[in-house]
């Protein structure tokens, strides 16, 4: 008896809302392990929205009285205020956001509060909350991406005629307009927005009414709830509605792609900022120094964005793994979807916010870009094309130019610095007009097809992009 007593005091325990059929309350440890209120309380606003819409429907269908609805509405309103002002007392013992709010409602309004959970389960309730949260998050992320696109557009517009080396295999390949390079990211982000818009359609379906898993025997009106909460439609199968999280996985996949794009951009900024490139300077507020090397200015923000991409990719895998072996319908495993999802939303949103700021305030060293484009024989392809247009088969022209490059390399100069006489030693087809071809601006200007780097094409692309971003 003594031993038993001691055990009980070690494993402290508490009574639960649902503990009617339990002999023994859960231990503190299990309580901590199973509770989600620490993180799901961020869903409170959506939980209240969902509850109010549910109550409105219960009243409209005569399941609860109009008087109950008024009282519930007032109670929920007060709870919303308490949460917003930080006065609400969250309790771990009440497990999650739903039970915390419901308990407070019952304390405030009594029996009407106890009737709110009629024809509903936490299983369809949580699925609804997450969808409402994610829908709002998607809308916010889309506007953040668009802000970043605007910043990119502004910068691209200033640098249509700025020449930089374009790379393949990280070797100088052909000169490109810096504006063109920036617009590549605009395109990636545009697809990211398209993906999110598409994903939002599948997020925007109402699970409520599925109840625990099998639907409900009450004469509910799901369409009414959907309409009140702004859902496009209702989930068509109750088992699916409470158990699947594919909409969240899809969002995480979209987010992983956007972060991947930002990570590539980060990698470029890090390279461009290194003194060996010297193409750009980031404002001091985006960098930090070294504790040992006084000369250092480190690109912490892009490095972290690149690093955080790993985390976002990890969240995608977490959610896929979370679902993969779950039998239908709801399982508590699903509680584990939240932290990954929330962190994905937070990390992506913050990264986008910082990047728009970076692009609004970045220093571009045009001369360093141009100088780098002059190295590495970036106009060699133009030379080959010149010969091809004079009827030398392209493969032969390639060979001729390769030899000329080797010669120039030995001399330690650029192709454009070779005399006409020297160039003619490689092919008699070369004439004085070759020099306009071998210049960086000549090379860029010649790539004048849709999607190419010619400044006139880049200007056109920017104009179209502006229409899309400002008018759509």
Residues at the interface with ligand ARG (CB under 6 A): 36, 40, 96, 122-123, 126, 332, 334-335
Which CB atom, from 119 or from 440, has the smaller least distance to ligand ARG?
Answer: 119
- Which residues have a catalytic role annotated? 169, 290
Which CB atom, from 161 or from 339, has the smaller least distance to ligand ARG?
Answer: 339
Shortest Å distance, C-beta 54 to ligand ARG: 15
Which CB atom, from 263 or from 334, has the smaller least distance to ligand ARG?
Answer: 334
Shortest Å distance, C-beta 325 to ligand ARG: 17
Which CB atom, from 36 or from 149, has the smaller least distance to ligand ARG?
Answer: 36
In the 3-class helix/strand/coil scheme, how is the chain assigned residue by residue?
A: CHHHHHHHHHCCEECCCCHHHCCCCEEHHHHHHHCCHHHHHHHHHHHHHHHHHHHHHHHHCCCCCHHHHHHHHHHHHHHHHHHHCCCCCCCHHHCCHHHHHHHHHHHHHCHHHHHCCCCCCHHHHHHHHHHHHHHHHHHHHHHHHHHHHHHHHHHHHHCCCCEEEEEECCEEEEEEEHHHHHHHHHHHHHHHHHHHHHHHHHHCEECCCCCCCCCCCCCCCHHHHHHHCCCCEECCCHHHHHHCCHHHHHHHHHHHHHHHHHHHHHHHHHHHHCCCCCCEEECHHHCECCCCCCCCCECHHHHHHHHHHHHHHHHHHHHHHHHHCCCCCCCHHHHHHHHHHHHHHHHHHHHHHHHHHHHHCEEECHHHHHHHHHCCCCCHHHHHHHHHHCCCCHHHHHHHHHHHHHHHHHHCCCHHHCCHHHHHCCCCCCCCCHHHHHCHHHHHHHCCCCCCCCHHHHHHHHHHHHHHHHHC
> Which one, of 180, 176, 240, lies nearest residue 381 by Cα?
176
Residue nearest to ligand ARG (CB): 335
**How many beta carbons lie within 10 A of that of residue 294, not counting itself?**
7
Shortest Å distance, C-beta 333 to ligand ARG: 9
Q: How far is Cα 176 from Cα 164, in angstroms, rounded to an integer?
A: 6
Q: How far is CA 277 from CA 67, 172, 242, 281, in A?
A: 72, 12, 53, 11
Shortest Å distance, C-beta 466 to ligand ARG: 43
Which CB atom, from 248 or from 408, has the smaller least distance to ligand ARG?
Answer: 248
Shortest Å distance, C-beta 16 to ligand ARG: 11
Shortest Å distance, C-beta 239 to ligand ARG: 14
Shortest Å distance, C-beta 278 to ligand ARG: 51
Angle at 46 between CA 45 and CA 47, to 5 degrees: 90
Joined together, the tokens standing for residue 453 give 């780097």
Shortest Å distance, C-beta 122 to ligand ARG: 4
Q: How far is Cα 120 from Cα 310, in angstroms, rounded to an integer?
A: 38
Which CB atom, from 101 or from 280, has the smaller least distance to ligand ARG?
Answer: 101
Which CB atom, from 39 or from 468, has the smaller least distance to ligand ARG?
Answer: 39
Shortest Å distance, C-beta 100 to ligand ARG: 11
Q: How far is Cα 205 from Cα 241, in angstroms, rounded to an integer?
A: 9
Q: How would you classify the pairing of strands 233-234 and 205-206?
A: parallel
């Amino acid at each position: 008896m003594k031993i038993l007593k001691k055990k009980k005091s070690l494993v402290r325990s508490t009574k639960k809302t649902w503990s009617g059929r339990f002999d023994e309350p859960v231990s503190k440890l299990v309580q901590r392990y199973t509770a989600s209120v620490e993180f799901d309380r961020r869903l409170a606003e959506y939980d209240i929205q969902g509850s109010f819409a549910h109550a409105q429907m219960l009243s409209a269908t005569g399941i609860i009285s109009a008087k109950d609805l008024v009282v519930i509405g007032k109670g929920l309103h007060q709870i919303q205020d308490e949460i917003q002002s930080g006065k609400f007392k969250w309790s771990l013992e009440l497990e999650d956001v739903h039970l915390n709010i419901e308990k407070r409602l019952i304390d405030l309004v009594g029996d009407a509060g106890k009737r709110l959970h009629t024809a509903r389960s936490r299983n369809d309730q949580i699925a609804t909350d997450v969808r409402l949260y994610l829908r709002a998050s998607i809308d916010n992320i889309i506007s953040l991406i668009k802000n970043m696109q605007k910043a990119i557009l502004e910068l691209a517009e200033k640098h249509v005629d700025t020449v930089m080396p374009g790379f393949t295999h990280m070797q100088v390949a052909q000169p490109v307009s810096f504006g063109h390079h920036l617009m590549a990211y605009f395109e990636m982000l545009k697809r990211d927005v398209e993906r999110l818009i598409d994903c939002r359609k599948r997020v925007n379906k109402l699970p409520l009414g599925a109840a625990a898993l099998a639907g409900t025997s009450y004469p509910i009106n799901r369409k009414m709830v959907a309409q009140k909460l702004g859902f496009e439609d209702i989930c068509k199968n109750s088992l699916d509605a409470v158990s699947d999280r594919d909409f969240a996985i899809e969002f995480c996949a979209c987010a992983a792609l956007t972060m991947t794009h930002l990570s590539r951009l980060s990698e470029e900024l890090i390279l461009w900022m290194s003194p060996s490139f010297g193409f750009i300077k980031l404002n001091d507020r985006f960098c930090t120094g070294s504790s040992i090397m006084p000369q250092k200015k480190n690109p912490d923000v892009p490095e972290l964005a690149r690093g955080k991409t790993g985390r976002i990719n990890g969240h995608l895998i977490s959610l896929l793994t979370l679902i993969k072996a779950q039998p239908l319908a709801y399982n508590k495993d699903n509680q584990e979807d939240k932290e990954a999802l929330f962190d994905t939303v937070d990390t992506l949103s913050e990264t986008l916010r910082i990047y728009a700021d970076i692009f609004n305030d970045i220093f571009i060293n045009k001369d360093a870009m141009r100088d780098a484009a002059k190295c590495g024989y970036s106009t060699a392809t133009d030379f080959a094309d010149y010969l091809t247009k004079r009827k030398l088969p392209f493969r032969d022209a390639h060979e001729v130019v390769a030899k000329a490059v080797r010669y120039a390399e030995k001399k330690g100069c650029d192709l454009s610095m070779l005399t006409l006489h020297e160039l003619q030693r490689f092919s008699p087809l070369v004439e004085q007009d070759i020099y306009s071809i071998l210049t960086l601006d000549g090379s860029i200007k010649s790539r004048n097809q849709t999607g190419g780097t010619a400044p006139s094409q880049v200007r056109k692309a920017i104009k179209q992009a502006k229409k899309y971003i400002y008018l759509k």
